[in-house]
C-alpha cells in the first residue's frame, strides 16, 4: 500500500510563477516529512523537511506546508526557475523505514 501519495504525475509552470506540488499521506502518526528533488540519472537530493510540530517551514524559495487534519503537505516554489525542472518526491519516515511518493515531474517553462 502506498503510504505517501502524489496524485499529480506532472506539472508545468511558467518561469517566475509559483509551483505547488502536493502530497497526501495515510497515517496520522507520521510526524516528519521530507521533499527530495531528482534530476535524470542522478540520486535524489534532499530539499526541505518539516516536523509535525510545525505547519510551515521555509528555506529560500522553497516552503513546505503541513495540514495535519487533512493529512496533506505541499511544496511551494516561488519564483519558479527553469533549473527547478526535475522530479519531486515527498517522503516520510516511521520506524526504520522511509516511504516515498511516486513523484511529480515539474517543468518550468522559460
Give residues in contact with another protein (CB under 8 A): 31-32, 34, 36, 41-46, 49, 51, 89, 91, 93, 95-103
Smallest distance from the beta carbon of 37 to another protein, in angstroms?
11
Q: Which long-range contacts (CB under 8 A, 24 or more apart) does 2-8 make?
A: 2/26, 2/101, 2/102, 3/27, 3/30, 3/92, 3/99, 4/90, 4/91, 4/92, 4/99, 4/100, 4/101, 5/101, 5/102, 6/89, 6/90, 6/101, 6/102, 6/103, 6/104, 8/104
Smallest distance from the beta carbon of 6 to another protein, in angstroms?
8
Q: Which is nearer to another protein, 8 or 79 (CB)?
A: 8
Q: Which is nearer to another protein, 48 or 79 (CB)?
A: 48
Smallest distance from the beta carbon of 99 to another protein, in angstroms?
8
Q: Which is nearer to another protein, 27 or 45 (CB)?
A: 45
Q: Which is nearer to another protein, 79 or 93 (CB)?
A: 93
Amino acid at each position: 500500500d502506498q503510504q505517501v501519495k502524489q496524485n499529480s504525475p506532472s506539472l508545468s509552470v511558467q518561469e517566475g510563477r509559483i509551483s505547488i506540488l502536493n502530497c497526501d499521506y495515510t497515517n496520522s502518526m507520521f510526524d516528519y516529512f521530507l521533499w527530495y528533488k531528482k534530476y535524470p540519472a542522478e540520486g535524489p537530493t534532499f530539499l526541505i523537511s518539516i516536523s509535525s510540530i510545525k505547519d510551515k517551514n521555509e528555506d529560500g524559495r522553497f516552503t513546505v506546508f503541513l495540514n495535519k487534519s487533512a493529512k496533506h503537505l505541499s511544496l511551494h516554489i516561488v519564483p519558479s526557475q527553469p533549473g527547478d525542472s526535475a522530479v519531486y518526491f515527498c517522503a516520510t519516515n516511521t520506524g526504520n523505514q522511509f516511504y516515498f511518493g511516486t513523484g511529480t515531474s515539474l517543468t518550468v517553462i522559460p
